[in-house]
Amino acid sequence: MRSKLFVPGTRSELFAKAQNSQADAISLDLEDSVVESRKDEARDKVVEFLCSSEVAASDKTIIVRVNNRGTAHFESDILAVTKPAVDMVNLPKVESAKDVCAAVEILEKAEKANGVIKTVKILATIETPKGLLSATEVASAHPRVAGLQLGLNDLFESLSIDRQDNKNVHATMLAMRMAAGGANIFAYDGAFADFNDENGFRIEAEMAHRLGYLGKSCIHPCQVAIANEVFVHNEDDVTFALRVLEEYKIAAAEGIGAFSVDGKMIDLPIIRRAEAVVAASRRLQKQKHTDTIVSDES
């Protein structure tokens, strides 16, 4: 999930375009991009799309951002959008394990009511000071939590922190990455508001990639290609990872716990990293193959 494209829940004319874009995932939004008077309308439009044949036939990751627990829409949103097509529900402004557990309780009820067999996962957005301080608790709150997403715009604006200072961005990214890593879930980078500033988006995406983030949210289609380009492992990384795994097989057969590749000492953490790099590379190749088939058929 290198890229995740946000689509306002009221903009149903954009749903199919987003679905057919190069984004690895789409996030249908019922929260910030929808004014209060149109919340019910947006929910209905999103549910209609989720039940469409286009979504059912797609292998794109489908996410719905619901309204947060402190609103009157929280339960209604989750009950409505928990459909077979949905992979994750994005919870905004998560501040505690209680927020997660409240969503889990509703998800379980919705899955039974809507005939959803798979387990719908949770993407918890960390975008308040309390949320960042509780990120470790949130990450470990329930097995349904697949990842933490960083919301720098809300977090920094509320504290008058300079969003343009990369030292501030890096420090916050690192803090949330550690919380996600401690729970063995992924960390995902949030939106970059100025979609005309492609270089700024790229710099922030590259920073997130170096910190081990899975991908970055996109608020405009022009950002998708950059995210897809940044959040891949280069050929040298993949080649080295493959060599590590080959040498690991030999070392394991000989009962050797640590060995070297190109003068670098290799132990279990590096082996696990190599496994992750190779797995990500293979997923990308499979996705490219699928996209090629779909393009040829159309």
pLDDT digits (tens, 9 = 90+) for 237-251: 777 778 888 888 888
Q: Can you tell me the mean pLDDT for 98-119?
A: 96
For domain 3-230, give its CATH number from 3.20.20.60, 1.10.3720.10, 2.30.30.60, 3.40.640.10: 3.20.20.60
The helix (run of H) or strand (run of E) holding residue 25 is strand 25-29
Least confidently predicted of 36-45, 112-121, 225-234, 240-249: 240-249
Least confidently predicted of 71-85, 175-189, 220-234: 220-234
Domain boundaries, the chain: 3-230, 235-297
- The residue to which tokens 């375009």 are assigned: 17
Provide the pLDDT for residue 35. Answer: 96
Those residues whose C-beta lies under 8 Å from the C-beta of residue 84, and which sit 6 or more positions away, are 56, 114, 115, 116, 117, 118
Residue 5 bridge partners (DSSP) = 26, 218
223 token code pair: 């950002």
How much of the chain, in percent, has pLDDT values that exceed 70?
A: 94
Q: Which amino acid is at 34?
A: V
